Structure 1
Amino acid sequence: MAVRLNLAVQGLFATPVAALEVPGAERINAALGEAILRRRAEAPSVQASNAGGWHSDRDILAWGGPAVAEVIELARGMAAQLTADRAGAPVRPAWRVSAWANVNASGHANVAHYHGGAFWSGTYYVDDGGCAADPSLGGEFEMLDPRGPGPGMYAPGLKFTGDGASAGGAETIRPKPGLLILFPSWLLHQVRPYRGTGTRISVAFNLSLPQ
């Protein structure tokens, strides 16, 4: 008979990932979607993590209008709530913002990457291209385990008790219009291929310390 041991277990090195359903998203998305698609018609794509699709310049705050400024202000608020000094006291840095738009159609994706030179990064979903209603369309935002692939490579059928399913693997977030997510910039992430017939539109951003 197995003896139940009285273990002291502490989960260490958690990675904070925050999500907010933005109020007034329908109004914001109508304005943002129009501005982004207009910009796509005028400017060529930047090549970054995008595998196909259109990636704007990193100055959407200059051409995206009040709607993108509203989203970024909410992101600043999320970062303020989740940032502290080493003693645990809240801090409110004057974040320097870099932001851009991504437009993916069928077959497009974003390869695994992280955002160097920033503290927080995030994504706001303007249009999910139908992903939320139909999981078969793919297009998920995927975060790779920062502990590395070791556990999954050695024993893919096992996980640590109390841990998520991601040991050595990944966790995903399904896009949804109006969803704003914030994550540490060093977190390796990617966008799975989108298989729908619509248009998947998002705004990505970095929050870094002032120079």
Structure 2
Amino acid sequence: MKLTTQDLFPTRIWVFELDELLEQHPGWIDQILAMREASPVPAGRSNRQGWNSDKTVFAVPQFEPLQRLAQTAFVHAFKDLALKEPLRFQLEAWVNMLDVGGSNLSHVHPHTLLAGCYYLQACEQSSPIVFRDPRPGVMLTALPGTGVHSESTVSLHPKPGQLVVFPSWLEHRVELHTGPQARISIAMNAIQV
């Protein structure tokens, strides 16, 4: 008997370590706390027990180093996708802050090219981002288990300085945050221009 297997339709995410930005974090966190104080009503929809800014973070000059490196990271991801033709895009970004006990409901980022999240403040107790298996048929399987044809999720525990880039259609959520301080990230969308 001869056997070959082939795994079909992988879903790729990219994790960039941007350690050169770590020294910027204290100033950025101060800026974010001032933004929250000036506009305390959350602008987002999926955040529970926390705060979201509007999508203008990259209009703040202080965040230019992050915007520049994020742009480079997204360019890398687009090249990795081997697109038929190059595309022009811009990044929109917003703060996602989870207070202790906060979470983000499952969601996708419709009408965008790719999504991403940069982590400013996270610790070992910080809640993970959880990606759900995108194959709709696997939810209906009559073969429960943990193998390749079982419904699954993948949890990624963030650390400061990481930028995670992923398909905007990939459903994701953030588990209940139990860390000792707020979990602070900057979410991003690549928008075609």
TM-score, normalised via structure 1 length: 0.82
Match of 2:155 in 1: 172
What SS is found at the alignment partner of 2:75?
Answer: helix
Q: Which moved more, 1:17-26 or 1:50-59?
A: 17-26
Match of 1:188 in 2: 171
Contact 1:121 1:206 in 2 (8 A): yes
One-letter identity of the residue aligned with 2:114: W
1:100 matched to 2:100? The reply is: no
Match of 1:61 in 2: 58
Residues 83-94 of structure 1: pairs in structure 2 closer than 5 A: 83-84=78-79, 88=82, 92-94=86-88
One-letter identity of the residue aligned with 1:150: V
Distance in 1 between residues matched to 2:83 and 2:116, nearest whole Å:
23
CA deviations on 1:169-205 (whole Å, 9 max, x unpaired) are 2001101011111001000000001012211100000
Contact 2:21 2:65 in 1 (8 A): no
Structure 1 position 61, deviation (Å) = 1.2
1:207 matched to 2:190? The reply is: yes
Match of 1:52 in 2: 49
CA deviations on 1:13-44 (whole Å, 9 max, x unpaired) are 11110001103232121222111111011102
Match of 1:111 in 2: 105
Structure 1 position 85, deviation (Å) = 9.8
What SS is found at the alignment partner of 1:52?
Answer: strand
CA deviations on 1:74-124 (whole Å, 9 max, x unpaired) are 2222222222599x4685532122110011111100000000111110000
Contact 1:121 1:184 in 2 (8 A): yes
**Structure of larger gyration radius:** 1
What SS is found at the alignment partner of 1:76?
Answer: helix
One-letter identity of the residue aligned with 1:95: F
In the alignment of these two chains, the number of paired residues is: 192
Q: Which segments of 5 or more consecutive residues in structure 1 lack a partner in the other structure?
A: none
One-letter identity of the residue aligned with 2:130: E
Distance in 2 between residues matched to 1:28 and 1:41, nearest whole Å:
20
- Identity percentage over the alignment? 27
Residues 117-132 of structure 1: pairs in structure 2 closer than 5 A: 117-128=111-122, 130=123, 132=124
Distance in 2 between residues matched to 1:186 and 1:34, nearest whole Å:
32
Q: Which segments of 5 or more consecutive residues in structure 2 lack a partner in the other structure?
A: none
Please report the RMSD computed on the Cα atoms of aligned residues, expressed in angstroms. Answer: 2.3
